[in-house]
Amino acid sequence: MSNENDDATQLGSIGRHMSKPQQPGNPQARPAFQAPSLPTHPQEQDGDEEGTVLSTHNATPSRPTRPTVPMAQPMQAQPTRSAPTQQPLPQSQSAPVMATRQFPQTTAPSVKPAQPAMASSMMSAPQADITEFHELFAQLVGNVSQVVVGKEQPIRQCATAMIVGGHILLEDNPGTGKTQLARGLANSIDMSFKRIQFTPDLLPSDVVGVTYYDQKNGEFEYREGPIFASIVLADEINRASPKTQSALLEVMEEQKVTVDGETHAVPQPFMVIATQNPIEQLGTYKLPEAQMDRFLIKTTIGYPSHDVSVNILKQVNVTDRASTVHAVLTGNDVLRMRAISETVRLDDAIIEYIVRLVEATRHNERIQVGSSMRGALALTRCARVWAASSNRGYVVPDDVKQLAVAVLAHRITLTAEATFAGSTPEQMIEQILNEVPSPTVGATA
């Protein structure tokens, strides 16, 4: 009877890999190829039942202690049985470990017992601040979705850019809701909003402001331009001359304006939403590469689906949908969400993956100018916000993949041969995503 129980205990402890039983007097002996995350159960020689085998595989915490176990073994069994609840804590409270490659197939039997620990770390409850971020982000996206119906992806991208502190370039055909999206986002946040209609005769002083002489006070005073607002809509930005477009370069990068040698800071948070049409290029000025690189995200809205179009026509009496929504967040809420996003965990494998994506744009024979380091920083910051909006305190490779096209496509320049062949920057980024291997999510042994 004692030999049969010993065999059952050994099979449960070593995963049916060793045929030689362990000595009861040697508790330090461990079987070969055993995963470090599994606790080592002591040998029970008297009165052992099948519960020992089940406790090894299923980690049943409610198994009572057998009264027939020798006195020297319970002192060693107690600290080892509490290891499953203490061992994952030093690594991370909510983030799994990223690995660039998985374990070989030959070690699969020893890795299987560690899978429940990996699943428990990924399914653990997020922190309170991440949950708060997720709720505020959902309120903002849901409020703007009442203005631009059925376009959750571009709305989430615009909200991400605002929280990061970047700028959005909306490029789409006329009548797709670019201006409505910008106004709906501005009305959803209790902050100042200004709109600038870019035309060929617009001057830089009409954007940043001008210094004038006040005859009543007998001194020069500075009059702020419409750029001094938390959300600025630059409508049809490619209609203005390059001289006027360059007036936005400093404020979009450094969050300040210099006029007549004096520097003036813009209010925080600050965001520029620019729109332009890909058609009707007569009388327009193409944005230079330096200004394109200052936009955090470039995205399109696209036409609505059939069902959404029918619902919009049923509400034909609503002429201005942006005026129907009210503010659900404040400027302080946006700044707090920005601070929360900075605490989202970034694994080294994720950072390595982002760098490889950016470097792939610089060594592609069909790309003349690759992405700058500003593009890598933008992708990293957006990925953290995207992860927090999904109620996660850590970044996964899918967060990077969903944002790579919107963040990197407008930062590259294709060769003349690739452009003549009909390739687009978005297609090249998609190709790079397929070629560069992404890290896998898993638990380390």
In 315-372, which ranges are continuous DSSP H helix? 331-341, 348-362
Q: From CA 264, how far away is CA 149, in angstroms rounded?
A: 38
DSSP for 85-126, written as a single string: HHTTTTT-SSPPEEESSPPPGGGHHHHGGGHHHHHHHHTSPP
pLDDT of residue 49: 42
Question: Counting beta carbons within 10 angstroms of the beta carbon of residue 127, is it exposed (0 to 12), middle (13 to 18) or buried (19 or more)?
Answer: middle
Closest CA to 9 of 47, 38, 61, 62: 47
Q: How far apart are CA 397 and CA 351, in angstroms?
A: 10
More confident residue, 436 or 126: 436
Residue with the bigger pLDDT between 51 and 296: it is 296
The predicted pLDDT at position 171 comes to: 87
Q: What is the pLDDT of residue 57?
A: 40
Tokens representing 12 are 């449960």
The DSSP result for 140-171, as a single string, is HHHHHTTTSTT-HHHHHHHHHHHHHT--EEEE
Please report, in angstroms and rounded to a whole number, the separation of the first and last CA atoms in the chain: 36
CA 281 vs. chain centroid, Å, equals: 34
**Mean per-residue pLDDT for 165-187?**
87
- pLDDT band for position 421 (50/70/90)? confident
Average pLDDT over residues 233-241: 87
Classify residue 230 by burial, with Cβ atoms within 10 Å: 0-12, 13-18, 19+.
buried
Cis peptide before 269 (omega within 30 of 0): yes
Count how many residues are written for the chain.
Answer: 445
The kind and range of the H/E element at 272 are: strand 271-276
The pLDDT of residue 388? 92
pLDDT higher than 50, residue 56: no
Residue 70 makes CB contacts below 8 A (sequence gap 6+) with 24, 45, 46
Q: Which residues pair with 220 in a beta bridge?
A: 213
Give the pLDDT confidence of 325-347 residue by residue, as tens digits: 888 888 889 999 999 999 898 88
Q: What is the pLDDT, as a whole number, of residue 314? A: 86
Confidence bin at 242 (pLDDT 50/70/90)? confident
Residue 5 has a pLDDT of 46
CA triple 425-430-433, angle to 5 deg: 130
Mean pLDDT value of segment 119-139? 71
Contact 151, 302 (CB under 8 A): yes
Give residue 282's pLDDT.
63
Q: Answer whether residue 74 shows pLDDT above 70.
A: no
What confidence tier does 384 reach under pLDDT thresholds 50, 70, 90?
very high
Candidate from 192-196, 252-256, 282-286, 353-357 with smallest mean pLDDT: 282-286
State mean pLDDT over 188-206: 88
Structure tokens at 146: 């009442």
Amino acid of residue 156: R
The reported pLDDT for the residue numbered 445 is 39
For residue 281, the model assigns a pLDDT of 64
Residue 12: band (very low, low, confident or very high) from pLDDT cuts 50, 70, 90:
very low
Work out the pLDDT band at 160, boundaries 50, 70, 90.
very high
- The answer to which of 124-133, 199-208, 368-377 has the lowest mean pLDDT is 124-133
For residue 15, what pLDDT band results from cuts at 50, 70 and 90? very low
Element (H, E) at 206: helix 205-208
User: In the chain, pLDDT over 90 holds for what percent of residues?
Assistant: 17
Q: What is the mean pLDDT of residues 27-40?
A: 44
Q: Are 410 and 292 in contact (CB under 8 A)?
A: yes
pLDDT of residue 386: 93
271-276 vs 262-265, strand pairing mode: unpaired
User: Given pLDDT bands bounded at 50, 70 and 90, which one contains residue 62?
Assistant: very low
**Does the structure show a pLDDT above 80 at 382?**
yes
DSSP alpha helix (H) spans, 274-347: 289-292, 306-314, 331-341
Tell me how far apart the alpha carbons of residues 228 and 264 are, in angstroms, rounded to a whole number. 9
* Mean pLDDT to the nearest integer, 374-394: 91
Backbone angle region of 48, left / alpha / beta, with phi > 0 → left and psi within -120 to 50 → alpha: beta
Q: Residue 211 forms beta bridges with which residues?
A: 222
**If you average pLDDT over every residue of the chain, what do you get?**
74
